[in-house]
């Protein structure tokens, strides 16, 4: 057969050899079928925005299988016989929305909307398999989808509404779409066609889809450099595979799809996916000889995510482990403790091997052997097995350590080991698998004896130490001490599990991850019907477009006929001189159009207009960070451009070790000029000397958090007859306009920039879009063709900076009650190789938060490092300085032995006070907010319960923290304008404003204001693009107040129009309609459009108003592993008079969860030799996911407190809620303190950020020498 066929949304697709063999289904859906609702970002199967639904006929069962797949990984030529459904296939605004699309939108579960189609399709696949799932099943099914905007709560609520105990979906809504083949009642027949052997050649490479083992053998005999294909999920982890000349799709090989279960064995073919394997295990567990497999089926939930498990085979997982010794294979451990053997075809022979033999075999060459099946024997009734995994994040994460055991006892009542036990671990070195010495020691021993256990611990420690664990140099690996302690701790848990232990030790066995229950939440805010649509909680006006996939982002826009594509040539070192860049050898590569370097820039080689410091478009003499752009390749496709950009050879000289940390910079005296004067308030030195109590300390904050927007940074520059048209993912169109004009050496007026919406930003697209806008403009300038550059996740994390890291030294004086007398700081931060991303100049307005101190001395230092220029990340730098302040307050409380909230309250600002920088506080009521939150969160009673829990549980500890916040906002930064135009035909209104919609709901709030001012339905308001013709010279969208200021501009424009309409209104008869008024005004030549500009500097105080809020969080930690579960968070937030409670609550929850990631999970890691970001993808960089949300998440907006200085009484919700995530950090600290106190260690301790599981475990001072079974 020379072609394959499959269906997409009921439409037949026939493919021959038109596309490269590496083409993915996602690429085909988006670029050939133009179904752009399906998004692509990570190309790893880790973010979930590419998810589509698949249906295929199972040849063994004869039943149709429905499941979700990552289309970014699914090979196009593997699609034969499938039926796919994309988000467009479910419904749309015109024909009607699917219930999933509607409920997600109505719950405000779609903010920027980029992730929404992936969530919709994930839920669709779940309901196709089970139309009435439980809430727990629904939450579990979302383990492969990331959302940076919402904080997940609204998504979870929307999806859990389909559970069997709420409002399950009508089965009619889940029926297949009608197929275009009218002879079939549905598309099942399309998915069930007879599959044939398939072979094509493309670009001197072969693709085979054989049906039998004999066909495979024939291919093997005549081919070399082979890649076996099944799920293709390994490409998401190990991207640089190959080169290959032959691709063999094994999906349809009948022998590999067989399952054979008898009383004495269970044989499973190598094509069986992990999801199917779970089903087989659960079915087999009904046989008492295989009852252990039920638990192992649950353990497989920890492998990847649901979309990966749906297509990845168990055999592929083992093959990855064989090829990549460092791969932490869950399957390997699970199969080994089940005593499995694998059947392998090795060139000419069929052999059976144990897992150890498989790993150690030198005869099995990569991609020259085939795993055929696995055989599981029955295990006796006196056999105990279990599996444990500890990962940096609770779901969708590779393990630090995988651990498993198999113990066989003499009888049911005995703890004497009848046979040699199996104790296996991953993560302790490439060659460590069996803990052979401890296995040998325990053979025949009584596992209940504490002395035997103690000796076992010593043997295990020594065995691990001798394995080379201290020689692991991987920067992604936690410390050897942590891994050793973790391995011994997991062994300890296993020994407790098989023995009867005391109540105090019993809780040690369970993982804090596994004890998580279904999350719940509460939201409380006011709405005033007399003001509607203002204050009305409503979904975003474009929410339905987002959940149906109809919203068009920059990369979704129709391609032009002469479209070209660019990819940046990136440096591979961080600190070196450039000797030469060799482009001649690749200029003639098929599909390459041109390559441009710094010498080709027609204007100034600088992406940043004044007053910013220079950042080159392309480095030409030296490189300052790894990933710095050196040039751009323009080609006929994105794939060709990217491939060739990596082929360009750069010759370096004078290579130096990069400066990557603040300590490196201090050592090398590498600093940028001071960003601002030192802050001196009062006489700090004298205050410190006179203080009865003094402390000093330091804190490192290495949370170099990446924005992690799901839409990459994208730009298309199109030459026009009078300049250039630019579609770009930017928060600041004026900056893009100026930078492109500067680089091309032409007037700014010839540059037209427009944005409708962007898929999340969080500050990261404020200035960083200039990097690709200028590069694309250079190509467009010479070629006179449109050039599109698209940075995906890996590229974004390489090219673009992160949140700056900090190092702080402090000295503080205070009295016995904790009242602050004086505070002396040295703040060190690193904005990278350029200071452009630093907001150090603004921090004096924020750092004192809710606390009044009369004497301050602060010195700021900007370390110059070999990293990309840091970028603004939601509450940039400001967030960090709050964390520093709260650490100091905690230190004071620890020194005095007081409840930290009492010390904090002792220092609260009061009405009439002034801040350190002179900001007046006429309205502050932080004391009232904290008092109310204490009551509503039941703070003191819970503290008592926590103390009781901590006494009763040795290795599980809980902690609680209540953190206040005062966050000042300003209206005085820049210009925001709005043009409001009324259409005379029907009175409908169009508006263009100076803000950028990026998920925060700015378009909706603007529309609400217009509807309110004119007294018309909101459906009559249409929000148009932001562009620099209608919206010239506007500031960035950021700082949390853009929505308010654009609303202010819109209200100003509406007032102008109302004033014009008033004389006409006086002429109208009783009962007139709005449309009649407008038509009358038009007939009298009334100007029905108006523009209003909100100017900077219109408010007396630099900071316009404050947001007061507080959060109370309770955390549970496992002191043996460091794993953390956030049990409950209560937030009380002064939002003024919310314009839209649904949107504002969503913003607050999303901000809090982003802050949680900063506190617990997120940091960019760099290779110390090259400076490369080594965790530039979803498998190593870990933003929060749905199961990281507090199990009980409650938020309330303060009632009856409109903001007298705000727009329509409102306050911002974009950035301030991040600060409240400090409650997470200090709840974890409180739990750690309980562990330390139990060990006799009291007082303050240093906990650097992020508080990852390894830092938490080591801070608990867990000592394996104290482990005991008694």
pTM: 0.97
Q: Which CATH code for domain 554-658+706-799?
A: 3.90.1170.50
- pLDDT in the model for residue 430: 87
Note the pLDDT of residue 648.
98
User: Which CATH superfamily includes the segment(s) 395-512?
Assistant: CO dehydrogenase flavoprotein, C-terminal domain (3.30.390.50)
* DSSP secondary structure letter of residue 167: -
404-421 mean pLDDT: 95
DSSP string covering 906-928, please? HTB--TT-B-TT--B-SS--HHH
Task: Say whether pLDDT at 320 is over 60.
Answer: yes
Tell me the pairing of strands 1021-1023 and 564-570: unpaired
CA atoms 83, 88, 90, 96: torsion sign: negative
> Which tokens is 74 given?
């699914």
pLDDT in tens, 1071-1082: 999 999 999 999
- Residue 1098 is predicted with a pLDDT of 62
Mean pLDDT over the full length of the chain: 94
Output the pLDDT for position 348. Answer: 79
pLDDT tens, position by position, 592-635:
999 999 999 999 999 999 999 999 999 999 999 999 999 999 99
Is residue 185 pLDDT above 60, yes or no?
Answer: no
Instruction: Indicate the angle between helix axes 314-323 and 330-337, nearest 10 degrees.
Output: 110
Ligand-binding annotation for 115, yes or no, is yes
**Helix or strand or coil: residue 615?**
coil
| Tokens, residue 789 | 């550059």
Q: What is the pLDDT of residues 955-981, one digit of tens each?
A: 999 999 999 999 999 988 778 999 999
Rounded mean pLDDT, 514-523: 96
Q: Is the pLDDT assigned to residue 395 strictly greater than 50?
A: yes
Ligand-binding annotation for 317, yes or no, is yes
| Spatial distance between the Cα atoms of 110 and 101, rounded to a whole number of angstroms | 10
Distance, in Å, from the CA atom of 380 to the CA atom of 289, rounded to the nearest integer, reads 6
The DSSP output letter for 31 is I
Residue 504's DSSP bridge partners are: none
- 50 is annotated as contributing to ligand binding: yes
628 annotated ligand binder:
no
Cβ atoms of residues 651 and 621 within 8 Å: no
Domain ranges of the chain: 91-174+529-551, 264-377, 395-512, 554-658+706-799, 926-968+1099-1263, 976-1094
Rounded distance, CA 457 to CA 858, Å? Answer: 49
Burial class of residue 34 (count of CB atoms within 10 Å of its CB; 0-12, 13-18, 19+): exposed
**CA angle, 458 then 459 then 462, to 5°:** 85
DSSP-assigned states of every residue in 786-814? -EEEEE-HHHHHHHS--SPEEEEEEEEEE
pLDDT > 90: percent of the chain: 90
What distance in Å separates the CA atoms of residue 306 and residue 883, rounded to the nearest whole number? 36
CB 1180 within 8 A of CB 1162: no
912 is in an annotated binding site: no
Count CB atoms within 10 A of the CB of residue 698.
Answer: 13
H-helix or E-strand spanning residue 373: strand 369-376
Both structure tokens of 203: 């670009």
DSSP state of 636: S
| Helix, strand, coil percent values for the chain (each to nearest 5) | 35, 25, 45
1046: annotated binding-site residue? no
DSSP assigned state of 1173: B
Tokens of 187: 């598309």
Residues 6+ apart with CB under 8 A from 643: none
**CATH number for the segment(s) 264-377:** 3.30.465.10
User: Helix 733-744 crosses helix 769-783 at what angle (to 10 degrees)?
Assistant: 40
Answer yes or no: is 731 a known binding residue: yes
**Pair 551, 545: CB distance under 8 Å:** yes
Q: Looking at the predicted structure, is the pLDDT value of residue 183 above 50?
A: no
Phi and psi (nearest 5°) for 1130? -115, 130
* pLDDT over threshold 50, residue 179: no
Helix (H, G, I), strand (E, B) or coil at 574: coil
Other beta carbons within 10 Å of 720: 11
- How far apart, in whole angstroms, are the C-alpha atoms of residue 1254 and residue 493? 17
Q: Are 684 and 822 in contact (CB under 8 A)?
A: yes
pLDDT, residue 192, reads 55
Residue 904 Cα distances to 909, 911, 958, 987, 992, angstroms: 10, 16, 21, 55, 45
| 149 labelled ligand-binding | yes
C-alpha angle 110-113-114 in degrees, rounded to nearest 5? 140
pLDDT at 221: 86
426 vs 433: CA distance, rounded Å: 6
Q: How far apart are CA 285 and CA 112, in angstroms?
A: 44
Query: What's the whole-number mean pLDDT along residues 33-45?
Result: 96
Burial readout 1062-1100 (b: 16 or more C-beta within 10 A, e: otherwise)? eebeeeeeeeeebbebbebbbeeebebebbbbbeeeeee
Instruction: Return the pLDDT at 264.
Output: 92
The Cβ of residue 503 has, within 10 Å, a number of other Cβ atoms equal to 9
Check the CA dihedral 528-532-534-537 and report its sign.
positive
Residue 515 has pLDDT above 80, yes or no: yes
917 annotated ligand binder: no
Which pLDDT band, with edges at 50, 70 and 90, does 366 fall under? low
CB 732 within 8 A of CB 609: no
User: Residue 1223 pLDDT > 70, yes or no?
Assistant: yes
The CATH number for 91-174+529-551, chosen from 1.10.150.120, 3.40.50.150, 1.10.1040.10, 3.40.1360.10, is 1.10.150.120
Contacts of 945 (CB under 8 A, 6+ apart): none
pLDDT for 1207: 93
Report the alpha-carbon angle 823-828-829, nearest 5: 130
Whether pLDDT at 333 is above 90: yes
Determine the pLDDT at residue 365: 74
Q: Left, alpha or beta for 288 (phi > 0: left; psi -120 to 50: alpha)? A: alpha
Pairing of strands 349-354, 341-346: antiparallel
Q: Is 134 annotated as a binding residue?
A: no
d(CA 1213, CA 1203) in angstroms, rounded, equals 13
Distance CA 1050, CA 979 (A): 7
- CATH of 976-1094, picked from 3.60.130.10, 2.40.30.40, 3.30.365.10, 3.30.160.70, is 3.30.365.10
* Strand pairing report for 205-209 and 246-249: parallel
How far is the C-alpha of 600 from the C-alpha of 578, rounded, in Å? 16
Q: Which residues are CB-contacts of 640 (< 8 A; sequence separation ≥ 6)?
A: 565, 589, 590, 591, 592
Reading phi first (left if > 0) and then psi (alpha if -120 to 50, else beta), residue 1039 is in: left
Per CATH, 926-968+1099-1263 and 976-1094 having the same topology is answered yes
* pLDDT of residue 160 exceeding 70: yes
What length is written for the chain? 1270
Neighbours of 923 (CB within 10 A): 14
* Residue 389 annotated in ligand binding: yes
Please report the DSSP string for 679-728 in residue order: EEES-HHHHHHH-SEEEEEEEEE--------SS-EEEEEEEETTEEEEEE
SS3 assignment, position 119: helix
Residue 313 assigned as binding residue: yes
Q: What CATH code is assigned to 926-968+1099-1263?
A: 3.30.365.10
**Which three-class secondary structure state does DSSP give residue 677?**
coil
Model pLDDT, residue 241: 83
Mean pLDDT over 331-337 rounds to 98
* pLDDT greater than 60 at residue 181: no
CB-facing half-sphere around the CA of 25: CA atoms within 13 A: 31
Which of the residues are catalytic? 1215
Say whether pLDDT at 178 is over 80: no
pLDDT tens figures, 97-125: 999 999 999 999 999 999 999 999 999 99
pLDDT in tens, 284-302: 999 999 999 999 999 999 9
In terms of DSSP H, where are the helices of 1042-1097? 1042-1067, 1074-1083
Residue 559 confidence (pLDDT):
81
Which residue in the block uniquely carries the two structure tokens 């029907």?
986
Please provide residue 986's backbone torsions phi and psi, each rounded to the nearest 5 degrees. -140, 5
- The answer to whether residue 1094 scores a pLDDT higher than 90 is no
pLDDT value of position 191: 54
Q: 145 a known binding residue?
A: no
DSSP-assigned beta bridge partners for residue 126: none
1193 marked ligand binding residue: no
Q: Name the token pair of 302.
A: 């920890």
Whole-angstrom distance, CA of residue 231 vs CA of residue 308: 8
1039 is in an annotated binding site: yes
Q: Is the previous residue joined to 1250 through a cis bond, with omega within 30 degrees of 0?
A: yes
Q: How far is 1262 from 645, CA to CA, in rounded Å?
A: 49
pLDDT, position 182: 36
Average pLDDT for 516-523? 96
For residue 213, count CB atoms less than 10 angstroms from its CB and return exposed for 0-12, middle for 13-18, buried for 19 or more. middle
């Amino acid at each position: 057969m020379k072609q394959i066929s499959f269906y997409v949304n009921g439409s037949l697709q026939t493919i021959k050899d038109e596309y490269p063999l590496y083409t993915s289904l996602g690429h085909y859906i988006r670029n050939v079928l133009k179904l752009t609702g399906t998004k692509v970002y990570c190309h790893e199967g880790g973010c979930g925005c590419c998810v589509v639904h698949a249906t295929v006929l199972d040849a063994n069962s004869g039943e149709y299988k429905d499941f979700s797949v990552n289309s970014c990984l699914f090979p196009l030529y593997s699609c034969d016989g499938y039926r796919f459904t994309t988000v467009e296939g479910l419904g749309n605004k015109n024909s009607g929305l699917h219930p999933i699309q509607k409920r997600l939108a109505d719950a405000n579960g779609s903010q920027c909307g980029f992730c929404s189609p992936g969530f919709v399709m994930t839920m669709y696949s779940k309901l196709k398999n089970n139309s009435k799932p439980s809430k727990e099943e629904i939450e579990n099914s979302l383990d492969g989808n990331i959302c940076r905007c919402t904080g997940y709560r609204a998504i979870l609520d929307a999806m859990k509404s389909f559970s069997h105990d709420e409002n399950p979906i009508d089965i009619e809504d889940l029926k297949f779409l009608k197929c275009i083949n009218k002879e079939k009642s549905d598309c099942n027949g399309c998915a069930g066609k007879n599959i044939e052997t398939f072979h094509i050649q493309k670009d001197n490479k072969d693709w085979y889809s054989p049906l039998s083992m004999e066909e495979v053998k024939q291919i093997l005999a005549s081919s070399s450099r082979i890649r076996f294909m099944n799920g293709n999920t390994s490409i998401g982890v190990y991207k640089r595979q190959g080169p290959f000349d032959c691709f063999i799709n094994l999906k349809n090989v009948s022998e590999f799809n067989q399952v054979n279960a008898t009383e004495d064995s269970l044989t499973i073919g190598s094509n069986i996916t992990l999801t199917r394997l779970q089903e087989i295990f659960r079915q087999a567990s009904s046989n008492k000889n295989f009852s252990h497999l039920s638990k192992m089926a649950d353990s497989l939930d920890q492998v990847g995510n649901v979309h990966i498990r749906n297509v990845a085979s168990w055999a592929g997982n083992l093959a990855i482990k064989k090829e990549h010794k460092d791969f932490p294979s869950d399957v390997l451990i699970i199969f080994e403790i089940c005593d499995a053997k694998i059947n392998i075809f090795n060139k000419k022979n069929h052999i059976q091997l144990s897992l150890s033999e498989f790993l150690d075999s030198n005869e099995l060459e990569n991609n020259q052997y085939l795993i055929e099946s696995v055989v599981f024997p029955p295990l006796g009734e006196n056999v105990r097995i279990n599996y444990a995994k500890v990962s940096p994040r609770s779901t969708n994460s590779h393990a630090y350590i995988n651990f498993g055991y198999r113990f066989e006892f003499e009888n049911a009542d005995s703890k004497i080991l009848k046979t040699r036990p199996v104790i296996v671990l991953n993560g302790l070195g490439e060659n460590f698998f069996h803990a052979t010495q401890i296995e040998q020691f325990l053979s025949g021993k009584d596992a209940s004896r504490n002395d035997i256990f103690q000796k076992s611990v010593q043997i295990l420690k020594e065995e691990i130490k001798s394995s080379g664990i201290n020689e692991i140099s991987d920067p992604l690996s936690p410390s050897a001490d942590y891994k050793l302690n973790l391995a011994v701790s997991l062994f300890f848990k296993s020994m407790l599990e098989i023995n009867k232990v005391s109540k105090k030790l019993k809780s040690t066995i369970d993982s804090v991850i596994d004890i998580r229950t279904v999350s719940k939440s509460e939201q409380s805010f006011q709405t005033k019907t007399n003001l509607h649509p203002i204050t009305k909680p409503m979904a975003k006006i474009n929410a339905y477009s987002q959940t149906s996939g109809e919203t068009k982002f920059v990369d979704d826009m129709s391609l032009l006929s002469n479209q070209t594509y660019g990819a940046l040539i990136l440096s591979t070192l961080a600190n070196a001189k450039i000797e030469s860049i060799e482009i001649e050898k690749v200029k003639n590569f098929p599909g390459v159009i041109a390559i441009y370097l710094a010498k080709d820039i027609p204007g100034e080689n600088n992406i940043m207009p004044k007053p910013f410091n220079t950042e080159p478009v392309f480095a030409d003499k030296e490189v300052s960070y790894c990933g710095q752009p050196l040039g751009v390749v323009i080609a006929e496709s994105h794939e060709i451009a990217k491939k060739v950009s990596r082929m360009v050879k750069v010759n370096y000289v004078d290579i130096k070790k990069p400066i990557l940390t603040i300590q490196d910079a201090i050592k090398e005296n590498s600093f940028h000029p001071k960003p601002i004067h030192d802050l001196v308030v009062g006489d700090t030195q004298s205050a410190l000397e006179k203080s009865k109590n003094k402390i000093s300390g330091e804190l490192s904050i290495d949370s170099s958090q990446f924005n992690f927007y799901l839409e990459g940074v994208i730009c298309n520059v199109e030459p026009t007859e009078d300049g250039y048209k630019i579609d770009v993912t930017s928060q600041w169109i004026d900056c893009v306009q100026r930078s492109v004009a500067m680089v091309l050496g032409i007037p700014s007026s010839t540059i037209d920039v427009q944005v409708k919406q962007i898929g999340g930003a969080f500050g990261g697209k404020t200035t960083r879009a200039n990097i690709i806008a200028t590069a694309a403009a250079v190509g467009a300038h010479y070629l006179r063709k449109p050039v599109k550059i698209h940075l995906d996740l890996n590229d974004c994390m390489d090219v673009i900076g992160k949140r700056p890291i900090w190092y702080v030294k402090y000295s503080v004086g205070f009295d016995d009650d904790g009242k602050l007398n004086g505070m002396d700081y040295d703040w060190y931060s690193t904005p990278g190789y350029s200071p452009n991303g630093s907001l150090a100049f603004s921090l004096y307005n924020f750092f004192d938060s809710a606390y009044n101190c009369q004497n301050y001395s602060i010195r700021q230092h900007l370390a110059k490092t070999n990293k990309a220029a840091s970028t603004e990340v939601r509450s940039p730098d400001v967030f960090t300085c709050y964390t520093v302040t709260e650490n100091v307050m905690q230190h004071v409380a620890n020194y005095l032995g007081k409840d930290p909230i009492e010390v904090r309250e002792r220092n609260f600002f009061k009405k009439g006070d002034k801040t350190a920088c002179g900001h007046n506080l006429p309205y502050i009521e932080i004391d009232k907010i904290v008092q109310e939150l204490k009551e509503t969160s039941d703070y003191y009673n819970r503290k008592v319960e926590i103390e009781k829990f901590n006494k009763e549980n040795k290795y599980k500890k809980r902690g609680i923290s209540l953190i206040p916040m005062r966050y000042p906002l300003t209206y005085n930064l820049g210009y925001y304008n709005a043009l409001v135009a009324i259409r005379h035909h029907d009175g409908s209104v169009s508006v263009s404003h100076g803000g950028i919609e990026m998920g925060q709901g700015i378009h909706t709030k603007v529309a609400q204001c217009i509807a309110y001012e004119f007294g018309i339905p909101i459906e009559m308001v249409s929000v148009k693009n932001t562009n620099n013709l209608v919206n010239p010279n506007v500031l960035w969208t950021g700082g949390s107040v853009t929505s308010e200021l654009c609303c202010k501009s819109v209200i100003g424009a509406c007032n102008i129009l109302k004033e014009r309409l008033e004389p006409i209104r006086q002429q109208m008869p009783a009962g007139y309609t709005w449309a009649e008024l407008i038509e009358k005004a038009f007939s009298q030549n009334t100007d029905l459009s108006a523009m209003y500009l909100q100017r900077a500097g219109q408010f007396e105080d630099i900071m316009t108003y404050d947001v007061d809020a507080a959060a109370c969080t309770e955390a549970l930690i496992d002191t043996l592993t460091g794993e953390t579960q956030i049990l409950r968070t209560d937030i009380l937030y002064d939002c003024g008079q919310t314009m839209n409670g649904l949107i504002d609550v969503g913003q607050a929850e999303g901000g809090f969860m982003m802050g949680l990631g900063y506190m617990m999970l997120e940091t960019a890691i760099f290779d110390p030799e090259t400076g490369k970001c080594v965790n530039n993808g979803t498998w190593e960089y870990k933003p929060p996911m749905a199961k990281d949300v507090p199990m009980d998440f409650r938020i309330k907006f303060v009632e009856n407190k409109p903001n007298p200085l705000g727009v329509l009484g409102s306050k911002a919700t974009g950035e301030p809620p991040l600060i409240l995530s400090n409650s997470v950090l200090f709840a974890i600290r409180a739990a750690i303190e309980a562990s330390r106190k139990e060990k006799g260690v009291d007082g303050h301790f240093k906990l650097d950020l992020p508080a990852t599981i390894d830092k938490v475990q080591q801070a608990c001072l867990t000592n394996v020498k104290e482990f005991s079974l008694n």
